[in-house]
Amino acid sequence: MEQVRHTLSIIIPAYNEEKTIAELLQRVLDADLGEGMERQLIVVNDCSTDSTGSIVEEFIAAHPQAPITYLKHDRNQGKGMAVRTGIQAVKGDYVVMQDADLELDPNDFAKMLPHLRSGQFRVVYGSRFLAEENSHTYVSYQLGGKVLSIMTNLLYGQHITDEPTCYKMFEADLLKSIPLDCKGFEFCPEVTAKVSRLGCKIKEVPIRYYPRSIEEGKKLRLKDGFKAMGTLLKYRFWKKP
């Protein structure tokens, strides 16, 4: 009996990531997703001003058989809008976010997928805090992540340790059904709030983490943390999912 095959769609928002985008794409293509899993890479270039776009195009030309969908914004709109553009192109059964840097290891998708494929969960997050061996470059980022996780648990009845993690994986039909308002980094708290309001319990698994510095291109700032807190509060008390 032939095994049923499934596809994981991997959305990769990219803005000025010329130093890492080619290696990241190769790592995602090479990652072992487990038996019976195909992949679809969706790269969304958010109007980069460096050579990110040309590097992606050269990579695609050099890998003509690679399952890569390449989309471009004609103006910079923010990570949230890039994710929303990517969602429209999803063809897979499952979908996950992948930043264009090298902070996370796409081989960890293989730890997350079984929980979706089992049918027990519709949402799985990769937690950087559950893996004790991980280092964290900035104490402020570490504390910020813990505060957002505590807020999520108190406001939405979840039991998670890493709300702002990039590795958020969903049943594709679920994510496509959620109307998103985000434009910037508030995608993370918005989608967390909305799946929680829909009654989905978030499963976490430990993932590896290799943080980069601000000098190396890390884009999150303190104001984004405050926006995230405001977003969690907004969708709990003032806006319906």
Place of tokens 């004609």: 74
The 10s digit of each residue's pLDDT in 75-119 is 999 999 999 999 999 999 999 999 999 999 999 999 999 999 999
119-171 residue pLDDT tens = 999 999 999 999 877 766 556 667 888 999 999 999 999 999 999 999 999 99
Give me the sheet containing 68-72, strands edge to edge. Answer: 68-72, 37-45, 6-14, 94-97, 168-171, 123-127, 202-206
In this prediction, residue 218 carries a pLDDT of 47
pLDDT for 134 equals 72
Which amino acid, 27? R
Look at 7-21, 36-50, 115-129, 220-234 and tell me which has the smallest mean pLDDT.
220-234
The C-alpha atoms of residue 149 and residue 221 are separated, in whole angstroms, by 17
Question: Domains of the chain: which residue ranges?
Answer: 6-237
Task: Report the chain's mean pLDDT, rounded to a whole number.
Answer: 91
**Residue 224 · residue 187 · CB < 8 Å:** no
Does 33 score more than 80 pLDDT? Answer: yes
The per-residue pLDDT for 152 is 97
Global confidence as pTM: 0.92
User: Rounded distance, CA 50 to CA 233, Å?
Assistant: 36
Pick the CATH number of 6-237 from 3.40.190.10, 3.40.50.300, 3.90.550.10, 1.10.150.120: 3.90.550.10
180 contacts 80 by C-beta, under 8 angstroms? yes
